[in-house]
A and B are shown apart, each in its own frame.
Chain A
Amino acid sequence: MTMLFKPAWKPLLVAAVCLFLTNAGHAGHSSVAQEFDGASAPAVPSSGPDLGTTFKGLFDRFRSPGAADAKPDDKGTAAAPADKASAPAGFNPMAFRLVDIESWSQTSNVVLDPECKTLVQPFGITDNVASLGMLAAKLKVKSFVDGLNNGNANAKPMQVIEILRYAAKSMNWLPMSLEVKLGESKLADFEVLERDDPKAFEDYKRGDKVLEDIVKDLPQPLPYEFQLKIRKAGSDSATALPGGIIVADRYLFQTGKKESNLDYAYFVMAHEISHVLQRHLTREYQARLVDAVESIEGLMKLTDNKTQITPGALIGYSTALKKLFVNFTEQQELQADSCAMQMMAKHYPSHKQLAAKLAMIEKSMGKPEQTETDGPKSAQLLDTLKYLGDGVMERHPNTVQRHNNLKMLLTLNLAQK
């Protein structure tokens, strides 16, 4: 325990986060979703400034949006840098894909867009810097970001750790290539049927059709190439892995007597695709990394005043942190439902048809059941320790929460008509 919280550990973590951020500008950008209001994306160099892992590099990256986001042009070659001096005519630096970050928290337990207004979260550093700018304005520190963007050296310097935290909480910084590798390594834990396996031929055929139907309605180009894998066992669920791998249970696409089952499969797959497009798993990795810094700080603060250290205080602190993580995963699940609902709404533009399909899906999800909320059974030490040691760091919202969320979205859908 004491080893873990040694102060020397923290700079290492900060450096790791910084390394990810700087690498993000170099890796996987052939698939970065960079949109400029429908106009063709200005080509930018594949070799951004050689920033290494220095903090200066990080500042440069914020200062020149676009320079870090390399995207090969149609011919697969790199073109001129997209800094302000050489930007092509018509280039509008504010026309990035923006996300209006609505919430702010000291820890990374916040789902930023619960109704899923943005189906595809921004992936490029450029887009994210723009989103960060909006957030900064809300936080009344816009002058600082403006100062950075304008190259104003006199701008009040912000602590690097603060910038890293902004970035880590508000942006997607884990390089896409690493995300794909993570997904591939997790896939090894699943027993999947090969595509040429005669047992799985029909399942893959139906599954591919469902996937195709979902993807064609999504904003293009997508940053991921989704891959469907079918599990040997299981029932009628599916799992999303980082990098766009969706592992579906064998029976998800077996319609049996009910043709409506394919609507359910559509919803399940759309939910999983949303986890990928919202980068939920990736954000969890990021959040745990970043919150670890704050958690350690919090813990150190707690232990600074030696007179106040009590086992109860420490346990209370750990319980609060665990609740945050569990709540975070519940919110992500509800957001993925919201996104799946938005995709269904595109697939079935008629509200009446959408409502009918949704009613069937809700039925397949199981009747609403209220279950206990997360947390220790009582404030007694034994129950708290049991809760901390139960190994559950993820949780699905109960069916009442899921049904209520879908009902609210259906009402919003009607209101928008």
Chain B
Amino acid sequence: MYPFIYVNRMAIVMVFAALCCGLAQAQSGKQDCTLRLKSASTATGQQLAQDLIKANPCTTVPGLDVKSLSSVWSALLTSSSTGGKRFDTPPPAGTPTGKVLLGAQGLVFDLQSVFGDGVTQLQISVDDVPVFNIVNPKGPLLTLPAARLKPETVYDWVLITRKNSYKASFRTAAPGELADLQHQLDVLATATLSPSVRLLYTAAIYDDAEFYFARDQILAQLRPQIAP
């Protein structure tokens, strides 16, 4: 009787240990918390990289893909000029493309990079039906009111300056896409981080959720800080 109980207990302990070990391995295989960053060329960039590495991404914002953080870092270091032969003229920096988030005020077209060329028209349509038509704007910042933009809709836009015409499209997010994003932003708000590292985390959260326009706006804000 005793040896039988003893053997049974041993077996239970061994199975339990194996399970724990397996779980631990599975967990460690599931999420790699090591941040691998490209080296920055400036001292301020290197300092920012060190600050970023100090925080553990797995605990700072649980669920955030660490790859998004390193990808955001690489994007920060890469110049916007990529070379190659593109089908059309790239949309100017500050104009929305891809999946976008709507702020309380709406969506901003920042035309500063081309305003000097003489902006003559910005037309925005849905399924070939114009919904906005702005002619000869007086300033470089054009805000589309949130109330006039529908969720989960593709908006095609054409921007015409005296020198060039540009075209692209953006898609407004579906309400369901925002819950996880907002949760991660809320968690980030409670973390103790330097302002620049916080911005990088915010950019990574947007990257993870494929809001690249919002991400790129943050990166544009950070770039001057690490510039030579």
Report whether B216 and A238 are in contact in the complex, using a CB–CB cutoff of 8 Å.
no
Chain B residue nearest to A336 (CB atoms) is B85
Q: Tell me which of A107-115, A161-169, A364-372, A406-414 binds B.
A: A364-372
Contacts A234-B97, A251-B98, A371-B164 known; A189 to B82 CB distance under 8 Å? Answer: yes
Contacts A233-B212, A233-B216, A257-B127 known; A398 to B82 CB distance under 8 Å? Answer: no
B71 contacts the other chain (CB 8 A): yes
A240–B82 CA distance with the chains assembled, in angstroms: 11
Report whether B210 and A199 are in contact in the complex, using a CB–CB cutoff of 8 Å.
yes
Report whether B87 and A186 are in contact in the complex, using a CB–CB cutoff of 8 Å.
no
B165 contacts the other chain (CB 8 A): yes
A280–B158 CA distance with the chains assembled, in angstroms: 27
Report whether B82 and A372 are in contact in the complex, using a CB–CB cutoff of 8 Å.
no
A333–B160 CA distance with the chains assembled, in angstroms: 19
Report whether A240 and B163 are in contact in the complex, using a CB–CB cutoff of 8 Å.
no
A268–B171 CA distance with the chains assembled, in angstroms: 21
A69 contacts the other chain (CB 8 A): no
Report whether B84 and A271 are in contact in the complex, using a CB–CB cutoff of 8 Å.
no
- The tally of residues in B whose CB lies under 8 Å from a CB in A reads 38
A250 contacts the other chain (CB 8 A): yes
B195 contacts the other chain (CB 8 A): no
- The tally of residues in A whose CB lies under 8 Å from a CB in B reads 40
Contact with B along A188-225 (1 / 0, CB 8 A): 01110000000100000000000000000000000000
B86 contacts the other chain (CB 8 A): yes
Among B78, B86, B162, B169, the residue within 8 A (CB) of A251 is B169
A291 contacts the other chain (CB 8 A): no
Give the shortest distance, in Å, between B196 (CB) and chain A (any CB): 21
A257–B165 CA distance with the chains assembled, in angstroms: 25
In the assembled complex, which residues on chain A have CB atoms less than 8 Å from the CB atom of B88? 237, 365, 396
A24 contacts the other chain (CB 8 A): no
A363–B207 CA distance with the chains assembled, in angstroms: 32
Chain B residue nearest to A241 (CB atoms) is B84
In the assembled complex, which residues on chain B have CB atoms less than 8 Å from the CB atom of A251? 98, 169, 171
Among B71, B89, B91, B160, the residue within 8 A (CB) of A396 is B89
Contacts A232-B212, A371-B164 known; A275 to B97 CB distance under 8 Å? Answer: no
B74 contacts the other chain (CB 8 A): yes
B76-117 interface with A by 8 A CB criterion: 78-79, 81-91, 97-98
A227–B153 CA distance with the chains assembled, in angstroms: 31
B168 contacts the other chain (CB 8 A): yes
B184 contacts the other chain (CB 8 A): no
B161 contacts the other chain (CB 8 A): yes
Chain A residue nearest to B128 (CB atoms) is A363
Question: 25 A-B contacts, Cβ less than 8 Å apart?
Answer: A186-B83, A189-B78, A189-B81, A232-B207, A232-B212, A233-B212, A235-B91, A235-B169, A235-B170, A236-B169, A237-B88, A239-B82, A239-B86, A239-B87, A240-B85, A247-B84, A250-B98, A275-B85, A281-B84, A332-B85, A363-B128, A365-B88, A366-B158, A371-B161, A371-B164
In the A-B complex, the 8 residue pairs with the smallest Cβ-Cβ separation, listed nearest first, are: A233-B212, A235-B168, A239-B84, A275-B85, A235-B97, A189-B82, A369-B165, A239-B86
Q: What 10 new A-B contacts, CB under 8 Å, besides A237-B168, A332-B85, A395-B89?
A: A189-B83, A191-B75, A233-B98, A233-B212, A240-B84, A268-B87, A281-B84, A371-B164, A371-B165, A398-B164
